[in-house]
Amino acid sequence: MQFSLPEIRPKEWIHRIKEEFFPPRILDKYVFSEFVKIFIGALITLGFLAFMSSYSDIKGDMASSKGGKIHGWLFILFRLPQMLIQYIMNIAILFSVSFSVGQFSANKELVAMMAAGISFRRIVTPIVAFSCVLWFAAFFLKQTVVAPLNARANEEHKMLKEGDQNTLVGVVYQKHFKGQEGFYYIYYYDTKEEEIKGGFNYIRLTQEQTPDYLLVAQRAKFDYQKEVWVLKSVEETKFDDELQVVSVQKFTEKEYLLPEKPDYFKKLKGSVEEMNFFELLEEKENRIRKGLSYGDVDIAKHTLFAEPLLIVVLTLVGCASGFFTKRMAIVSSLGVSIGVALLYMVMDPSFKSLGENEVIPIWLASWITPMLFLSGLYVVYKRLKV
């Protein structure tokens, strides 16, 4: 018995699509126009609510800010695209699809369309095609618009918080760094004074990877003229080959020639939300070199592709829920929208947390939520047989 794969004829497929959808049929125009009106209305409404929610979150900071209220408004403005792509668009398309298709079902228009010999899949094809366009648009916008605007938003938030005595913005952090010849532990790097404060610890290793000496200092500042580190209130402990302490000396100030320069200790580039795909690759290499964790970077790389796919998933969910709607489409569509959104908001962060903690593979943590939804939808649509 011989098996053969069906012959793929791209030209024939293109011809069929052209014949079926171009020019658009009256039915396609009607279904899409009803959907898109609700979608635009939902976008505007949810966008306004997101704007008010963002203002409510930072109005206290704006009232007490010494940096100027304008930075608060700019923070909200630059943050809105992220909220639009990540939350607003998803909820808007789920609501508008389930509501519009639900209205067709409740008003028996769906029955009339199907009685004319048009399958349910063909009826909702314009809406699904639109969601696929949004999928690619969301991916492109996250790379080119959202990431840089997130960086601007964080900068505006820092300026808004300037002068707040209870907050140290972009300064305090505790980190371990892997150097060329040893390991560092520093408390924080003051970028304005270009000085490490609160603690600078360094252990140098021999070629056999055994401790050579240990430095514990209160402060450290790099002398660019001499290209040496000037450590203050430093304690120097030396070891022998048997790991026994040879000497312990204390100095008020002493110069050390260390392989790493100040740029090595500056705070990480920023949130992964501020980076595009290529910047994430660079950030991962940077963290590996410094011996820092990079699970969130790997998660962000996969999320760039997996997260926009949710638009298509929610469109298919909305179509299925609308198909089963018999009456009061707005009530059922709201219920489905809220239920699915809450379920996703619980599942997605939970799986990503498992991935960052290496409980499950990173790629699985990023893709499992949309894949589970798609698997469930496959079963639903297979049973519809329409």
- The pLDDT tens digits of the residues spanning 261-282 come to 887 776 555 567 767 777 787 7
Statement: residue 253 has pLDDT above 80: yes
pLDDT at 1: 45
pLDDT digits (tens, 9 = 90+) for 295-352: 778 788 888 888 888 888 888 888 887 777 766 656 666 677 677 777 877 888 888 8
Name which residue leads in pLDDT, 304 or 172.
304
Out of 24-28, 115-119, 123-127, 245-249, least confident range: 24-28
pTM of this structure: 0.66
pLDDT digits (tens, 9 = 90+) for 49-74: 888 888 888 877 777 767 677 888 88
Statement: residue 211 has pLDDT above 70: yes
Residue 242 phi/psi, 5° resolution?
Answer: -95, 10
Name which residue leads in pLDDT, 179 or 162.
179
Out of 155-169, 172-186, 289-303, 329-343, least confident range: 155-169
Please report, rounded to a whole number, the percentage of residues in the chain having pLDDT higher than 90.
Answer: 4
Task: Looking at the chain, list the stretches that DSSP marks H as alpha helix, in order from N- to C-terminal side.
Answer: 10-21, 26-64, 70-83, 89-106, 109-115, 120-123, 125-141, 147-161, 277-290, 295-306, 309-323, 329-356, 362-384
- Looking at residues 100-114, what average pLDDT do you find? 85
Identify the band that residue 169 occupies on the pLDDT scale cut at 50, 70 and 90: very low
Render the burial of 143-168: b for 16+ CB within 10 Å, e for the rest: beebbebbbebbbbbebbbeeeeeee
Q: Between the CA atoms of 308, 310, 315 and 321, what dihedral angle is there, to the nearest 10 degrees? A: -170
For the chain, first and last CA: distance in Å?
33
Statement: residue 232 has pLDDT above 80: yes
* Cα–Cα distance list, 293 to 115, 207, 310 (Å): 59, 25, 28
pLDDT at 20: 56
For residue 256, how many other CB atoms are within 10 A of its CB?
A: 16
pLDDT at 173: 58
What's the distance, CA 63 to chain centroid?
30
Among the listed residues 303, 266, 300, 264, the one whose alpha carbon sits nearest the alpha carbon of residue 281: 300
Out of 58-62, 136-140, 166-170, 314-318, least confident range: 166-170
pLDDT at 160: 75
Tokens 């090595």 correspond to: 264
